[in-house]
Amino acid sequence: MSEYDPLVHYIICGPDGKIRQSGDCARSMLPVYAGIYGEGFAAVEVPADQYDRDIDVHCYVFNAIITAKGIAASVTAYTIKADGNDAVSFSVPAGTSVIHNGQIVALSDDAFSFTTDDVGDFEFSFIAPAAFRDFKVTIHAV
């Protein structure tokens, strides 16, 4: 007679707490899944009431506890004069990168600033550290 191996929800998280993968597997497979990404990664069983398919968007792991991500930017649209002087500046969490025109740039400090003399809409996507949700900002230059 074989022992029942229940199907469980799981996440794989990195040493930074970022959730890299989620899904369902047999409980006995968790140690195998933990080794998929390499050293420092962990496979964690997730209670049914905490699990959803977008868990990586809304949560990260802090001190082995699934934790809700914070919001890094509450304002996501700005309007500036397209005069080369008017600027948008705001703080971002340390370790944030920005994507614009297909280029990913790690911000060297905890701030983002933009100015232009071109009229138009400029969209920036931000990849935030694990504890924060990724976000987008649109700057309307008029």
Per-residue pLDDT of the chain (142 residues; tens, 9 = 90+): 458 889 999 999 999 999 999 999 999 999 898 888 888 999 999 999 999 989 999 999 999 899 999 999 999 999 999 999 999 999 999 999 999 888 999 998 899 999 999 999 999 999 999 999 999 999 999 9
DSSP-derived pairing of the beta strands 59-62 and 87-91: unpaired
Assigned domain for 2 exists:
no
For the chain, the first-to-last Cα distance in angstroms comes to 73
How far is CA 115 from each of CA 81, 109, 130, rounded to the nearest angstrom?
A: 9, 17, 28
| Shared-domain flag, residues 58 and 87 | no
| Shared-domain flag, residues 90 and 129 | yes
Give the domain-ending residue among 68, 86, 107: 68
Give the structural domain span for 103.
77-141
Assigned domain for 113 exists:
yes
- Domain containing residue 104: CATH number: 2.60.40
Assigned domain for 16 exists:
yes
Residue 4 DSSP symbol: P
Overall pTM > 0.85: no
* Counted domains in the chain: 2
| Shared-domain flag, residues 50 and 84 | no
